[in-house]
Chain A
Amino acid sequence: MRTNMRAAACLIACALSSVSVAGTKNNFITPEARTVEGGREVLIIVGQSEIAPNINISNITAAAGGGLLFALIDSGVNNARAKEAEKTIVPLREALLGFDFDPMAQGASSATLAGTSWLDMKQLRLTKDASAPALVAALDGATTSQIMVLRYEYETNAEFSAMVVSLDAQLVNKAVPKGKKPDARLQNKYLPFHQVLRSMVRLPNANDKDPAGNVKAWSADGGRAARAAVELGLQRCQELLQRSLALTEAEFTAIMKRNKRPRSTIPNVIGWELESPQPGSTLVHDVMTGGFVQVEVLDASPPAVVQPTASATPEAPVLAPAQ
């Protein structure tokens, strides 16, 4: 009984503490912070071995104003949804066997960072260990005073109607903050740069109420649509990374002000639309993370190629505030 109570308390505590904090101003790099002596090593993390599903989280606890019983109900509901999602995604996983995301992420990241000369990229390596102890060990073993950490994830949305590729980009100092423990370096407030970027590529004519049908469409023809969507998502993340690395404080401040921009209509993304370059394609500022989400519908024509050119300018177009 005591074990059960402890476990339940852990669940509630974890749920409460998972709320994102976006108070630190490190979504851009000031010009004086761009150059560091000795350059920067790059660590690419892809923790997963294949595409992951997602679920809509049950929030009965929040709606009811808290309570252990509601937290347990939430956990039970979420577990049932996770089990269902893991079953539903199997045909897509089977179709994507042999689709190796890791080298694609490595190649695309390398090309993007090579195009950002001030970053002065040194050694670049890929790991599947996404844990904090592994990152601390990588920092301790780094030969540069700062490393760039690019953490990739690729998954479906809860309805399986979109492919979501996420990139969590961080600059992490090797030096431990004075009087702090080594893992304090990973805390957001000590990161010189931290940006969360996402690409959501929707299936054309997807039906959010038919997850199995969506999976079938993604998986058809050896997962052709899914492969194209993930590749496009990876490319979008590179474009957003380039723009984020080039952002100035003034530009980011302008983005943070809504200025009557339309609110995001994307589920689970709270923010406002920054750009809509073409019908069905929108760039959204996510206020919870301070990052960007690019949403678009997969073009049924030729699949995207993930090869951002090394010569691509790091000084990407400025995200102009709405008038």
Chain B
Amino acid sequence: MRSVTAALAAVTLCACVSQVPMTLSERFSDPQTRPATAPRLSRNAQPCTLIVSTIADTRIEPALLGSVAGRPVRAPGDVSAWLRNVVAGLESRGVVPHFDTNPRQETSPLVAGLTLRMAWVSEIHTSKTATTLLRMKLTRGESVLRERDYRGSDTVMNWASGDGELQQMVDRAFGAALDQIAEDVRAACKGRM
């Protein structure tokens, strides 16, 4: 009798995990992803200007990120706007991105070409995870300062595959990649590259 009750409870309660496809918002919530021990950016520091020449997307199925506990997670309808908003998250990391413009008319500005190679979600038992992989080619004039992949990920407990928790997880994964990108761009700004 006890096992029957438990099984019934399981079936009833599992209904609370939504299977309705979730579409991510175009907005990037820019969650705090830097560890508390990381050095803070000085408020008086000169912001680093970056011209973002391209944001390409080379994923096989750009409309889909995967599924978590059977719930499909889809990319926003306007993927370009979404990625632009994500890259704009560099601003809170001490880098001011300008999309295909050179407002200060610098003669030899820092230019970045970005490619989204991967953005996917999955689950590991009762946890869920998001992984992003951005490739950046950073140039100044004719010289390539850096070209590498920046991986961000976030693994958290899966409560109910809710919209908010999935959105936050993907945003944190992007945020973790942006942290590394910003670090390299700031170093390039200071001429350390």
Contacts and interface: CB of A to CB of B under 8 A. Distances in A.
Interface of A: 6-7, 9-17, 47-50, 52-55, 57, 66, 74-76, 78-79, 82-83, 85-86, 90, 93-94, 97, 102, 127-134
A163 B11 CA distance: 33
Given A11-B126, A85-B124, A128 B160 contact: no
A17 B11 contact: yes
Contacts of A10: 13-14, 16-17, 159-160
A16 to B, nearest CB: 4
Given A97-B149, A128-B60, A133-B21, A14 B69 contact: yes
B70 interface: yes
Closest 9 CB pairs of A and B: A13-B13, A7-B159, A82-B127, A49-B120, A16-B10, A131-B72, A82-B124, A17-B10, A13-B10
Contacts, number: 116
Contact of B131 (A49, A85, A130): A49
B172 interface: no
B157 A48 contact: no
Contacts of B70: 131-132
A79 B122 contact: no
A170 to B, nearest CB: 16
Contacts of A130: 66-67
Given A7-B160, A9-B13, A48-B122, A16 B149 contact: no
Mostly helix, strand, loop or mixed at chain A's interface? helix
B122 A47 contact: yes
A105 to B, nearest CB: 13
Given A9-B13, A50-B118, A82-B125, A131 B160 contact: no
A315 to B, nearest CB: 36
Contacts of B13: 9-10, 12-13
Nearest to A66: B6
A75 B124 contact: no
B157 A76 contact: yes
Given A10-B159, A13-B12, A57 B125 contact: yes
A16 B6 contact: yes
Of B67, B125, B153, B157, which is in contact with the most chain A CB atoms at under 10 Å from its CB? B125
Interface string B73-109: 0000000000000000000000000000000000000
A134 B124 contact: no
Nearest to B66: A47
B67 A13 contact: no
22 contacts: A6-B16, A10-B17, A10-B159, A11-B158, A13-B13, A14-B14, A48-B66, A48-B120, A49-B118, A50-B120, A52-B122, A52-B124, A78-B127, A83-B127, A86-B131, A93-B151, A94-B149, A128-B60, A130-B67, A132-B70, A133-B19, A133-B21
